[in-house]
Amino acid sequence: MEVKTPTLYEWVGGIDRIEALFDAFYGKVPADAVLGPIFALMSKDHFHIVAHFVAEVLGGPKLYSGVGLHSHSSMVAKHIGRHLTNEQRKRWVSLLLDTADELKLPDDPEFRSALVGYLEWGSRLDERNSQRKRCADAQMGMGRSEGPVCAGLNTKSETALMTWSGNAC
């Protein structure tokens, strides 16, 4: 009998657990000396957006890209020109993992190594892309190599975001 390996989304406990993680995490961010200034103007629903993105990447339903407002390209675009530092990136990862511990998310070596691997990979792409001045120079990640980020824009809102943020393609 073959045993089905769960997706990371299933392993963590689904959308309710992921939303709880990011709600608790972003609840701590304003008081954090390293992260607070970065997210000072964060909207109240920011945690939902990030939770839905991460849920989708971890193998869950298309709660982020499936609504027609977002895609991987639009997430990349949100980091362009923000000039994030390695210290900020590492603090984001460590505070998120501390929050995962507090919420008693799975802590077995297999799950945590996969989660840490994803967070390290994604946060390093975000830091690198944040140093760029325009979307055409961004690195997509997620195994994509088909050229500039802008080629992946698939909604009017993404195009508007890129234009509004000064990263017009």
Going by C-alpha positions, the residue among 139, 114, 124 that lies closest to residue 90 is 124
Q: What does pTM read for this prediction?
A: 0.76
pLDDT of residue 141: 54
Give the residue ranges of the chain where pLDDT is below 50: 142-169
Domains of the chain: 8-164 (1.10.490.10)
- Residue 5 near residue 11, CB atoms below 8 Å: no
- Residue 13 near residue 105, CB atoms below 8 Å: yes
Instruction: Determine which helix (DSSP H) or strand (DSSP E) holds 8, and give its type and residue range.
Output: helix 8-12
